[in-house]
Structure 1
Amino acid sequence: MTILPIDSILPQLKETLLAHSAIVLVAPPGAGKTTRVPLALLDVPLFAKQRILMLEPRRLAARTAARYMAASLNQQVGETVGYRVRMDTRVGPSTRIEVITEGVLTRMIQQDPSLEGVGAVIFDEFHERSLHADLGLALCLQAQALLRDDLRIIVMSATLDAQAVAGLMNNAPILISEGRSFEVATHYLDRKPEGRIEQTVVRAIVHALEQHEHGNMLVFVPGTGEIRRIEARLRELQLDPLVQITPLHGSLPQESQDRAISRGQANERKIVLTTSIAESSLTVDGIGIVIDSGLSRVPRFSPRTGMTRLETVPVSLASADQRRGRAGRLGPGTCYRLWMEADHRQLLPLSKPEIAEADLAPLALELAAWGVTEPAELTWLDSPPRAAFVQARSLLVQLGAMNPDGSITSEGRRMAGLGLHPRLAHMLLKAIPLGYGELACELAALLNERDFLKSDSAAPNADLRLRVEALRRTMKSKDYSSGALFYEGFTVDAAACKRIWMEAGQWKRELRIQDASQPEDVHHCGLLLAFAFPDRIGQRRSQGGFLLSSGRGAQFTHMQPLANSPYIVTVELDDQGTDSRIYLAAPVEWEELEQHFSESIERDTITVWDPTVQAVRSRHYIRMGAILIKDVPNHTPDQDDVHRALVSGIVKEGLALLPWTKASLQLRERLQFMNHYDTDWPDVADPALIMNIHDWLAPHLHGFKSRSDLQRLNMFSILESMLSWEQRRALDESAPTHITVPSGSRISVDYSDPDIPTLSVRLQELFGLEQTPRIGGDRVPIRLQLLSPAQRPVQVTSDLASFWRHTYFEVKKDLKGRYPKHYWPDDPLVAMPTSRVRPKNLQ
């Protein structure tokens, strides 16, 4: 067996495991940690007759690692070494090492929290920080603390914040293995690339082929779309026939993936076009040249919209180093980085962990199934973001998987057991009793994979029913394996169809679904998708535009048949702008929603004050979330509701709605004057009347519903009814409406200022009056506004006696000059008061 760098540290690793429950192992790419560490643990007495689980972030890496380890033991996969991945399991009764994907570990520990029969759990390539890896480690740490103090946990990575992980695991020891790597010459661009990244990549490949006569090439690009376009362009260039172009990504069939990572023929050169799947774990044989686009495509979840979108982002420094290291495993290599060296220094040190930006609905459901209502009950390297977690819990409550207090429901436990996204699990469980189980399995498998229908159109048909029909037709056609297939203007990816069909069949077997799908059941796609996406049921509101039940807008950017559907369920859309662009959807009938979503449909009668018509209006509403299904007038509203709405309208718009007459306003001012000096009297200021409106006004409003009705109110009587019999009798004496002055005139008292009631009167009418009149039980002097014969103010006083003594003569001089015909006596206290120019006896 070839000696690998990791071999030198294996004895120390086994010895450390005897004394410590957890270890962090740092080893660079190519050191051999993935395939040597599990095998080394087989002969550790601590793990005798126990299994060793090793987690890999990807299915391809899990299968490859298991095959490699089995081959090193001269065995077949499924004997001592096996694997478990989605839709593919190779283990047997003698299997001691199980290489599994991270979701499989979650299922295993949920079914058996003590992991009975498992001696060690190895987290490989933990630096990728997938959501399932973070969750799996958190669950294993709690299981170890509460149930299995003999369980050993090993976290391995090439690029990792080892101190942080060690601290998370109770200051676990850190072992570091020296790697074996050769020098890699690194080249950067002289200027920023222009145009599409595919053009830059193709130029780099052609340049590398010209500069290097030997060596296979590993080309990192963001996604499968770029891979397809680059492959097509390279084939157009008609390269040397010995140059083989092989794609490598997670959606390829296993045989195609195996062909991509194998060395190939001795006289061939390979160009492996790949995504970040080949950054770690996988060893692609014979690579001497790496071309790195510097880009990666990652999912980003938006709590604001509840949607996930794929976003192309620059790689981190750690990822760039991982990619570069692929060229130096077998000998000196070359790496072409398709960015400028100055830009390299701006890259983030590490990629953001998936838990920070992912849809947390699966995590929230797993935590609820574990018995945890809040993430803080577990130990995390990075805690789940609060906003995204709250959004996830809200969705799970809507799906019936969780109670509002965060505890799991029986339906939620069944959903968690399926290992699917909660949305799809809910759809499957709802579809089976309706007889649409097989269709639901097909939809779940379709939505778990990339779209297998490819189109060059700028506006491909977004109808998901087409995908179901194409899937069924492709799998049942006799020419299934013959070249390119087409359906309704799309090119069909037959290999993807096969994977989807197999996955649908697996779910059908697992759920023991007996019903067979019928051609006509495709019309129920919308209903089944509504079970999965109740927040994305859309109602048509404009040409191609829809309002979703979540309140978001969605839009077909180009017209197509679905754009005219009254109701649709949107499955795939982006998170850009006010209205998200719809990529996949299916129509749904309102009758189906009404039948199957009755608990989500609000039927309500709303009776409110309508300020635009100044009246109470009552309407019948039917809503589904933000969607308004029906809105019609209610001609027979409940009178109590009308009464409450009218009172609410008066409170909202103010007391100016009421018909205040001059007499009622004066009465209100008189009452407020009395309250100012004696709080036993009612407070009739606006705030107090509004606060107590149900006591003094509401009883008078029965049968009223509009502002015009309010005009029939007698506000004087209503205010007067607030007084006791004694107060009514005392009011005229303590706060008279008028005061009779010496001239015999009855002058109205102004109570607008409750502090100082005012009497505006002509000076000549007060001749002979020695003292200021007093009110309020003789406690409050009236403020006298003395007027000229022309009714213009000439003096204000609350002390009439002082005015006569000190001020009258100056005022008299001025008035006599302006009004010489009027009577201006020298002694006002003995003069005859008059409301005329001169007293009668002096005319």
Structure 2
Amino acid sequence: MSLSPSPAAGTPGAALAQLPVRSALPALRDALDTTGAAVLCAPPGTGKTTLVPLELAGLTGEGPRRRVVVAEPRRIAARAAARRMAWLLGERVGDRVGFTVRGERRAGPRTAVEVVTTGVLLQRLQRDPELAGVDVVVLDECHERHLDADTCAAFLLDVRAALRPELRLLAASATTDAEGWARLLGGGEPAPVVAATGVSHPVEVVWAPPERPVAPPHGMRVDPALLAHVAAVVRRALREQAGDVLCFLPGVGEIARVAGQLAGVDAEVLQVHGRAPAEVQDAVLAGGGGTSRSSDAEKGGGARRVVLATSVAESSLTVPGVRVVVDSGLARVPRMDHARGLSALTTVRASRAAARQRAGRAGRQEPGVVYRCWAEGEDGRLPRFPDPEIKVADLTAFALQTACWGDPTASGLALLDAPPAGALAAAREVLTAIGAVDAAGRATERGVRMARLGLHPRLARALLDGATEVGVRRAAEVVALLSEEPPRSYGDDLAAAWRTARRGGDAYAARWRQETRRLAAAAGEPERGPGERRGPAAGGAASEDAVAGLLAALAFPERVARARGAGSYLMASGTGADLAGAGAGGRAGDGSRLRDAAWLAVAVADRPVAAASARVRLAAVIDEETARAAAGALYSAGEEVHWADGEVVARQVTRLGAIELSARALSAPDPGLLRDAVVEGLRREGLGLLRWTAGATAVRQRMAFLHRELGAPWPEVSDAALLERVEDWLGTELGRARRRADLARVDAGQALTRLLPWATGEAVRFEELAPERIEVPSGSRVRVDYGGEQPVLAVKLQELFGLRESPRVAGGRVPVLVHLLSPAGRPAAVTADLASFWRDGYRAVRAELRGRYPKHPWPEDPSTAEPTRHTSARLRRG
């Protein structure tokens, strides 16, 4: 976006003439007139956000008059773009150029260019898919891949294909996947890509890593040592360079901390983020940070400025006067923990693309410098691009939008990236539970109303159903508090934060009051939610604590939580939740009144990396009745039979999700549940619970041998296979077992024979194919060991005299490995080819052993000798 130079630095006419994007306008007009869609790639500062919409609307004296809507990803960018374009026309905002953001609209009947947020554009498309009266839509900063922007693009392409083929669509960005967007906008043939060159100045890179290692970011936490280092680098930049300094930090909390550490610097320290008051944002972006700055500027001087900003300043905004950038290397992005049902912002390393965008801020007007607070060697390991929101964020709002659009699965939408199936399924479960969609995923009337409130569906549910219980105004006040997390100084108690916001005079309180008015007007006459009932704890003249708790529980029913001791709770989702310890900013810890509550409605929670439980950031005290009323869909009652501590435990249990409300022992549980519990025990503790005699182990080894050598129909008997078919071979015993001792009496070998192929008749050949014993020439029946890779027959050498070939099993396919033993039973030789042994190996064994065992026969030709189990003397006596 071009917001430079400031109005004080030149005239509107001169500024319009100097914008570099002007050279690309003929090609852009031709592309839009020919195909109706185009991609504009233009570096920051070229005028793509300011001059292009004015030209397309015919407000600069060229081309026909059209109505243009420009969609920006952020409110701060929408207001700034409108203000800049109005200045270029020499007008006030609200005349021919206006803007609309959530809760604020400045536009009139003459407005030809209207800048809106992508969220506002989505609302308009749902109400009026034709966008009556709109000729051109510009999707600005599309490279940021915000979910609302991607959704807008998909809906607009639907509109062009089905309703308004004449609607022109332009995707604009400083750096983007131009080919991908061209394919998306063009459908069959890629849309034209128009490139504009900008005036760029060289930017020197200074690598400024911390001297000592710092902890990597996790969750919302950033190592204070890194923030102290960033503040030190800002001080260094002020000493070494001229001009204003723009410092990138991940969030509002980090900005406040670094601002505190810069106290006393010879510069005005300013803050730019989405929560800053609009007048502060406007003053910073117009080139003056406040009255002192403006006064100095009028005198021709002016103090230097240090602007601490979030990633909002990467591409959507230009901060005039900046010659130096200090980059912390961090960004804050949305992430959804589907396993825990927690959606929150998290801190990550910024991508290389973001780092390039940030560095470019220093070279907008003349050569600049960027100080990067990481080592040069780490740069190549950074991700190349940021993740598209559709891949990582909570998709509940997206799923409701697509359901209202008539495509619940989003399969018919033109999207650069398809939504993950698991995340979309989880979102649809939430929507079904709150009555926003039906069983087929289609939006209900209630769902359509929710979508039009401009809230996350969870908060829309709380507003509509809460208004029925506590009144529109009070419901709007609490939901407004939930829609933007209060400052840390408000504490972790939602009801107390509500009271603080009511009497507060800070910027947050002002925004809260504005949002409350919007929500109260949008809610109108409340409706009663499906299946909801008026709770005595929340209705009528309920206390603020009860109202806050009910609203939080309605928004996040799976987060109602019951105490389990020492500030620890279990949420209905099954996730643990711990109250945060005492910390900076007045964050309540051991002294929090939440700590003594039996039940909580958790409104905001995050999960520290590697932590078993979530951390409660904002919650309200509730009672069990409120929890059950708000989370009624999670209530269940029934028999629970499971394996625990070596026995079956059978109980009649009532639950609220994972929270156990009551339980009593069952004397006669369902037989099927009993069997399932025993199977659970076997799978958890293993087949060793059964009685495995030597004979049972031998049977299993013989079956394993036949499966390995012959395959079907001989069954696999590995642990995994047996546990998979446990019902087939332990069916009777499962029905009688109740504890570990019962299973220990089960003869596993006998049970295993049930798996033999009786149905095909092959089972009768089990002994033939894998005989337990083999009769040798001496008449002995010797056991075969099937425990190794090849069956083993261990027998005294003299007992095999006269046997010319090795015995075979598996229908003659597999020779037995013969372990020939001395008269004392010690191994003398091993062979799988007995004939070869008699011919070649016997002589050496005979020579070695005949002197040691002279009483036993050692014939010269064992293949024709008489086998024996006895000594030579006994043979003679016989």
Q: TM-score, normalised by structure 2?
A: 0.69
* Counterpart in the other structure of 2:596: 564
* Among candidates 549, 556, 570, match of residue 533 of structure 1: 556
* Partners of 1:692 and 1:333 in 2: CA distance: 77
* Structure of larger gyration radius: 1
* Counterpart in the other structure of 2:521: 509
* Counterpart in the other structure of 1:725: none
* Counterpart in the other structure of 1:205: 234
Aligned pairs (5 A) from 1:652-731: none
* Partners of 2:679 and 2:280 in 1: CA distance: 73
Tell whether 2:52 aligns with 1:52.
no
TM-aligned CA deviation for residue 96 of structure 1: 1.4
* Counterpart in the other structure of 1:472: 502
Tell whether 2:586 aligns with 1:550.
no
- Alpha-carbon distance change, 197 to 645 in structure 1, aligned in 2, over 3 angstroms: closer
* Partners of 2:654 and 2:342 in 1: CA distance: 26
* Partners of 1:583 and 1:160 in 2: CA distance: 36
Aligned pairs (5 A) from 1:287-306: 287-306=322-341
Q: Secondary structure at the match of 1:382?
A: coil
Paired residues of 2:275 and 2:507 also in contact (CA < 8 A): no
TM-aligned CA deviation for residue 610 of structure 1: 9.3
Deviation track 1:395-424 (CA, whole Å, cap 9, x = no partner) reads 222222223332222222221111101110
TM-aligned CA deviation for residue 282 of structure 1: 1.4
Tell whether 2:193 aligns with 1:174.
yes
* Counterpart in the other structure of 1:283: 318
Paired residues of 2:469 and 2:539 also in contact (CA < 8 A): no
* Partners of 1:431 and 1:609 in 2: CA distance: 41
Aligned-residue CA RMSD in angstroms? 4.1
TM-aligned CA deviation for residue 650 of structure 1: 9.2
* Counterpart in the other structure of 2:421: 386
TM-aligned CA deviation for residue 200 of structure 1: 2.1
* Among candidates 250, 256, 259, match of residue 283 of structure 2: 259
* Structure 1, 600-609 or 320-329: larger mean CA deviation: 600-609
- Alpha-carbon distance change, 642 to 625 in structure 1, aligned in 2, over 3 angstroms: closer
Tell whether 2:236 aligns with 1:220.
no
* Partners of 1:147 and 1:563 in 2: CA distance: 57
* Counterpart in the other structure of 1:667: none
1:371 partner letter: G
- Alpha-carbon distance change, 355 to 517 in structure 1, aligned in 2, over 3 angstroms: farther
TM-aligned CA deviation for residue 348 of structure 1: 2.8
* Counterpart in the other structure of 1:137: 153
2:564 partner letter: R
Q: Secondary structure at the match of 1:245?
A: strand
Paired residues of 1:438 and 1:517 also in contact (CA < 8 A): no
Q: Secondary structure at the match of 1:14?
A: helix
1:152 partner letter: R
Q: Secondary structure at the match of 1:420?
A: coil
Paired residues of 1:438 and 1:516 also in contact (CA < 8 A): no
* Counterpart in the other structure of 1:769: none
Q: TM-score, normalised by structure 1?
A: 0.71
Paired residues of 1:21 and 1:152 also in contact (CA < 8 A): yes
Paired residues of 1:540 and 1:565 also in contact (CA < 8 A): yes
Kindly tell me the number of residue pairs found equivalent between the two proteins: 666
TM-aligned CA deviation for residue 54 of structure 1: 0.6
Aligned pairs (5 A) from 1:7-86: 7-43=22-58, 50-86=66-102
TM-aligned CA deviation for residue 630 of structure 1: 0.8
* Counterpart in the other structure of 2:176: 160
- Structure 1 unaligned segments of length 5 or more: list them: 456-460, 475-479, 481-493, 658-686, 711-750, 757-809, 818-843
Tell whether 2:430 aligns with 1:415.
no
* Partners of 1:690 and 1:308 in 2: CA distance: 41
Tell whether 2:203 aligns with 1:184.
yes
Q: Secondary structure at the match of 2:150?
A: helix
* Counterpart in the other structure of 2:511: 499
Paired residues of 2:98 and 2:114 also in contact (CA < 8 A): yes
- Alpha-carbon distance change, 691 to 304 in structure 1, aligned in 2, over 3 angstroms: closer
* Among candidates 358, 383, 406, match of residue 348 of structure 1: 383
- Structure 2 unaligned segments of length 5 or more: list them: 1-12, 215-224, 289-296, 527-537, 582-589, 683-688, 690-723, 743-766, 773-866
Deviation track 1:502-535 (CA, whole Å, cap 9, x = no partner) reads 2112211222369999782332322211111111
TM-aligned CA deviation for residue 653 of structure 1: 9.8
TM-aligned CA deviation for residue 181 of structure 1: 2.0
* Partners of 1:536 and 1:633 in 2: CA distance: 28
TM-aligned CA deviation for residue 210 of structure 1: 2.1
* Partners of 2:143 and 2:561 in 1: CA distance: 40
* Among candidates 384, 397, 400, match of residue 365 of structure 1: 400
* Among candidates 144, 158, 165, match of residue 128 of structure 1: 144
- Alpha-carbon distance change, 642 to 183 in structure 1, aligned in 2, over 3 angstroms: closer
Paired residues of 1:24 and 1:175 also in contact (CA < 8 A): yes
Paired residues of 1:438 and 1:513 also in contact (CA < 8 A): no
Paired residues of 1:535 and 1:549 also in contact (CA < 8 A): yes
* Partners of 1:642 and 1:328 in 2: CA distance: 75
TM-aligned CA deviation for residue 123 of structure 1: 0.7
Q: Secondary structure at the match of 2:110?
A: coil
Deviation track 1:93-115 (CA, whole Å, cap 9, x = no partner) reads 12111100010111011111122
Tell whether 2:619 aligns with 1:585.
yes
TM-aligned CA deviation for residue 77 of structure 1: 1.4
TM-aligned CA deviation for residue 166 of structure 1: 0.7
- Alpha-carbon distance change, 309 to 643 in structure 1, aligned in 2, over 3 angstroms: closer
* Partners of 2:654 and 2:361 in 1: CA distance: 60
Percent identity over the alignment? 36
- Alpha-carbon distance change, 94 to 544 in structure 1, aligned in 2, over 3 angstroms: same
* Among candidates 113, 120, 136, match of residue 97 of structure 1: 113
1:259 partner letter: A
* Partners of 1:316 and 1:613 in 2: CA distance: 53
TM-aligned CA deviation for residue 604 of structure 1: 2.3
* Partners of 1:216 and 1:66 in 2: CA distance: 24
TM-aligned CA deviation for residue 277 of structure 1: 1.0
Paired residues of 1:216 and 1:287 also in contact (CA < 8 A): yes
* Among candidates 242, 248, 262, match of residue 234 of structure 1: 262
